Amino acid sequence: MNVRLDTTVGSLKLTNPVLAASGTFGYGLDLLEFCPPESLGGVVTKGLSPRPRRGNPTPRIVETAAGMINAIGLQNIGVEAFCREALPQLRVRGAVVVVNVFGERMEEYLEVIDRCEAEDGLAGYELNVSCPNVTAGGMEFGHDPVPLERLTAICRAATRRPLWVKLSPNAPDLVATARAAVAGGADALTLINTVRAMAIDADTRRPILANGFGGLSGPAVKPIALRMVWEVHKAVPAVPLVGIGGIETGRDVVEFVLAGASAVQVGTAIFRDPAAPLRIVAELETFCDDHKVARVAELTGGLQWR
């Protein structure tokens, strides 16, 4: 027996539920020999802003116990360069591409979407309203339901493509932000972005990251991410969720799916293993076959509370 891995996130059909996460897979074309983008459920681009961004000074990353903190600061080539240089190749390959959208102001989110609307071969948008590493934009939209709903609504009006909103684990009230994004017209919610964190160098008595703070990712945060996916799923059961945070194995995917995710994203694991997303798809397939699961999609939200 062979499990059917195909699934849907709202109206978006995916051949399998494993996507590469924003900021951990470049623009989808850097690891072709390890993980061709078309072999995944989809790829989420590095956060794109209207114009190129330099990002933060260095050091930008630091390893922690079973995790890492990053403060890249959304360095990216800008939406124009993406559409001209990366997108055509992704299109030829048949990859499902979700653009991670970032702006310092609401209009900047719109600028990115507007530029992308001129292009074919894009599957949808993921609004990054939860980056802990930039001073303007990002978190301020993600932490307060009122501007979040407005931002989502404005973006909703600009596109008919699937619109995902990526939630922040640092928001005061996660469920309230989830509801606000849905009220604004989001088709799905991605969670979680990185957890605000800090590392200190005891010798120099300074923060290790040039930015001071950063975002924690990797296996360390998995138990927190899983809890948040389940909480949001209980609160808004009809809303498709994309789970993310510390996923390293096919079994991890099953856990997120049981907690309510329709699809998942793999981030930091790619840094340890450039073939991680593809390996995870294979592990997921084996797990499902061993457990006589006919369709991955039937597992979504299947957690049996004790």
Ligand X SMILES: Cc1cc2nc3c(=O)[nH]c(=O)nc-3n(C[C@H](O)[C@H](O)[C@H](O)COP(=O)(O)O)c2cc1C
- The residues that are catalytic are 131
Among 3, 5, 40, 72, binds ligand X (CB under 6 A): 72
By CB under 6 A, tell whether 179 contacts ligand X.
no
137 in contact with a second copy (CB under 8 A): no
* DSSP sequence for 227-296: HHHHHHHHHSTTS-EEEESS--SHHHHHHHHHTTEEEEEE-THHHH-TTHHHHHHHHHHHHHHHTT-SBG
Binding ligand X (rule: CB under 6 A), the pick from 21, 167, 229, 280 is: 21
Q: Residues 188, 125: contact at Cβ < 8 Å?
A: no
* Tally of CB atoms within 10 A around 1: 7
Per rule CB under 6 A, is residue 19 in the interface with ligand X?
Answer: no
Question: What's the start-to-end Cα distance of the chain, in Å?
Answer: 30
What is the distance between the alpha carbons of residues 291 and 300, in angstroms, rounded to a whole number? 15
β-strand pairing of 12-14 with 18-20: unpaired
DSSP 8-state symbol, 64: E
Q: Which of 25, 102, 109, 125 binds another protein (CB under 8 A)?
A: 25
Q: Which of residues 152-211 bind a second copy (CB under 8 A)?
A: 172-173, 195-200, 202-207, 210
Instruction: Determine, following the binding rule CB under 8 A, whether residue 201 of this chain makes contact with another protein.
Output: no
What residues contact residue 295 under an 8 Å CB cut-off, 6+ apart?
A: 3, 4, 6, 7
* Interaction of residue 230 with a second copy, rule CB under 8 A: yes
CA-based R_g, the chain, Å: 18
**Taking each helix axis from N to C terminus, what angle separates 250-258 and 222-235, rounded to the nearest 10 degrees?**
30
Binding mask 28-67 for another protein (x = CB under 8 A): --xx-xx-----------x-------xx-xxxxxxxxxxx
Stretch that binds a second copy, among 30-38, 39-47, 61-69, 73-81 (CB under 8 A): 61-69
Residue among 54 and 205 whose Cβ is closer to another protein:
54
**273 is in the binding site of which of another protein, a second copy, ligand X, none (Cβ under 5 to 8 A by kind)?**
another protein
Instruction: Indicate the residue whose CB is closest to ligand X.
Output: 23
Between 70 and 177, CB nearer to another protein: 70
Q: How far is CA 25 from CA 101, 137, 276, in A?
A: 15, 22, 11
Residues of this chain that interact with a second copy (CB under 8 A) are: 64-67, 69, 172-173, 195-200, 202-207, 210, 212-213, 216, 218-224, 226-227, 230, 246, 251, 254-255, 258-259, 287, 291, 299, 302-306
